[in-house]
Amino acid sequence: MTINSNTNILIVGLGVIGGGYADALTKKGYKVSCITKEQKDIDYALSRGMITYGTTQIEKDLVYNADIIIFALYPTVFIKWIEENQHLFKPGCLITDVSGVKSSVIYKVQSVLRGDVEYLSHHPMAGRERSGVEFADKNVFLGANYIITPTEKNRSESIETLKELGNIIGFGQISLLSAEEHDEMIAFLSQLTHCIAIVLMNCNSTPHLEKYTGDSFRDLTRIAKINDRMWSELFLMNKAQLLKQMDAFLEEFKNLKSLIEEDKCDELREMMKASTLRRSLFDKPDTQDKK
Amino acid sequence: MTINSNTNILIVGLGVIGGGYADALTKKGYKVSCITKEQKDIDYALSRGMITYGTTQIEKDLVYNADIIIFALYPTVFIKWIEENQHLFKPGCLITDVSGVKSSVIYKVQSVLRGDVEYLSHHPMAGRERSGVEFADKNVFLGANYIITPTEKNRSESIETLKELGNIIGFGQISLLSAEEHDEMIAFLSQLTHCIAIVLMNCNSTPHLEKYTGDSFRDLTRIAKINDRMWSELFLMNKAQLLKQMDAFLEEFKNLKSLIEEDKCDELREMMKASTLRRSLFDKPDTQDKK
């Protein structure tokens, strides 16, 4: 399927990601409708030209007319939505979701889904630490990484369609990973970092530290402002991988601690040189980190 | 001492901080000379109007004429400089430094320093993860925190002078802390965060992770690009405090890990709510965090 101005795109869940996708697609001339829980979010999106139509009801015709449906819901809510409403899909439609964990979502959904509908999952590696459509910003996707996670049930044609979707929205690097590779990678790059930020905000209750802080601490804890419902789901749905990454981090942290305890200056400097070298790989393409 | 256009300000060490200070002060009309190791850094600073005079030699007259001397050197280099050259200071001059650790520097310097010269230390809570004057940027100080660390040997008049210096450069919140309070605070806010960034870059060597990363990981590891000579000094000179903070972090990290292991969703969400609440204190004044 090629995405064009006649393609009916339906977004379910108008939050930071759903809203950002809607805005990016609508502003480029595509036809975007949405289903979401709160009328006020629809009003907000309509008033800013982010969608062409929105409803708080699961309207049969709207779902049936959709060629592509993008789910931007909590993982558990997404699975339940499919179970309850999949009879409404048009045969041949393509559904995708933006969930932050894959194995525990994809295999569940594919196992219950009708055979005449294709589900291909993906993960946009961008977001904001706030929730709600009023914080949606299509610019956070520009140049960001975008990961498609096909299984053997997916057709290459659908993979091309999802690549096209990523390109239209403005993502940078578009990659394919298996669900398992994705979950291992995300446990390290995203879930472990959120764990660290949460721990940093909970391990020292000295008052007024904000008067003395620099940007390092601000940067490491930006994501400590966290949607507790979503992230507790993500952590627990990817528990085995996350615990593995937490253990690897713990081991290396203890190693660093020993070097400090034993005044091993040379080894300490080697570890810093290695981190400096490896970190340079992670600079955003075409922008040096700004600070 | 009031800082005015006749005040002779000497900066020793023209790197990111020394260079940034020089630029900020010169552009506001103050008279700034510098002593630094490399002629190319002086040439760079002169060509950009960051200083009025620079030399790679410890010129007697230049040091003797200085009313305020700001040392922006590695802590160990600063201590050695004082031991070797303090006979050159003008009686009554005020010296300060920007070292990132205080107890192990201040008491050493005050114990050897001539009685007719005052040394009052401070710490600018801003910087960049690169070193060298070509990365100096006076704007990183705007609105940043600035901490003065007086001892009983310091006069309130000198504290006022250092506050004035901070205001001229453009810092935001200016605070006073004892050396011990500073070192405890800095072990948590700055040294622990650098440890975490280093560990994150050393605990997973999977190739091509940069293709999948989001901004959370980039933010948590920005400071993993680190000046290994300076930071190994800072870690080891503040070892006791740093180890204490590392232990507190470890304990809370293990606590979070247990909650995940045992599927304690409610407790997990409570911890996230606490981190969200506490993190809001750390937003930069008059700017919401931008992402």
Sketch the domain layout of chain B as residue ranges.
8-177, 182-282
Instruction: Using alpha carbons, list the distances in angstroms from residue B177 to B88, B147, B181, B184, B240.
Output: 30, 7, 6, 10, 18
Angle B175-B177-B182 from CA coordinates, rounded to 5°: 115
Report percent pLDDT > 70 for chain A: 98
Q: What angle do CA B31, B34, B38 make, to 5 degrees?
A: 150
CA distance A126 to A114: 31
Q: Is A223 in contact with B219 (Cβ distance < 8 A)?
A: yes
The answer to whether A276 and B225 have CB atoms below 8 angstroms apart is yes
Residue A289 pLDDT greater than 50, yes or no: no
Alpha carbon distance A273, B95 (integer Å): 33
Q: By percentage, how much of chain B surpasses pLDDT 90? A: 94
Listed residue (B104, B284, B82, B120) closest to B186, CA to CA: B104
First to last CA, chain B: 42
- Residue B129, pLDDT above cutoff 80: no
CA–CA dist B200, A190 (Å, integer): 12
Fold assignment, A182-282: 6-phosphogluconate dehydrogenase C-terminal fold (1.10.3660)
- Cα distance between residue B276 and residue A227, in whole Å: 8
> Is the CB of residue A18 less than 8 Å from the CB of residue A132?
no
User: Is the distance from CB of A17 to CB of A171 less than 8 angstroms?
Assistant: no
- Of residues B130 and B116, more confidently modeled: B116
Q: How far apart are the first and last CA of chain A?
A: 42
User: How do residues A219-269 score in pLDDT, each as one tens digit?
Assistant: 999 999 999 999 999 999 999 999 999 999 999 999 999 999 999 999 999
ipTM of the prediction greater than 0.90, yes or no: yes
The backbone torsions φ and ψ at residue B157, rounded to the nearest 5 degrees and listed phi first, read: -60, -40
pLDDT score of A128: 79
Q: In what order do the strands lie in the sheet with B53-55?
A: B53-55, B31-35, B8-12, B68-71, B94-97, B118-119
Cβ of residue A229 closer than 8 Å to a chain B Cβ: yes
B224 closest CB neighbour out of A127, A221, A275: A275
Q: What is the pTM of this model?
A: 0.91
CA distance A152 to A179: 11
A170 CB neighbour count, 10 Å cutoff: 17
Rounded alpha-carbon distances, angstroms, from residue B281 to A174, A212, A221, B190: 36, 12, 11, 17
Residue B135 touches chain A, beta carbons under 8 Å: no
Q: Do B198 and A271 touch (CB under 8 A)?
A: yes
Q: Establish if B202 touches chain A: CB-CB under 8 angstroms.
A: yes
Q: Which CATH class is domain B8-177?
A: alpha beta
Q: How far from the centroid of its chain's Cα atoms is residue A76's Cα?
A: 15
Interface test with B, best of A146, A198, A266 (most B CBs within 10 A): A198
What value does the mean pLDDT take over residues B254-280? 97
pLDDT-wise least confident of A273-287, B60-74, B138-152, B212-226: A273-287
Residue in the block written with tokens 């309509």: A46
Of the candidates A235, A158, A230, the residue with the CA atom closest to the CA atom of residue A190? A235
Using the Cβ of B176 and the Cβ atoms of chain A, whether some distance falls under 8 Å is answered with no
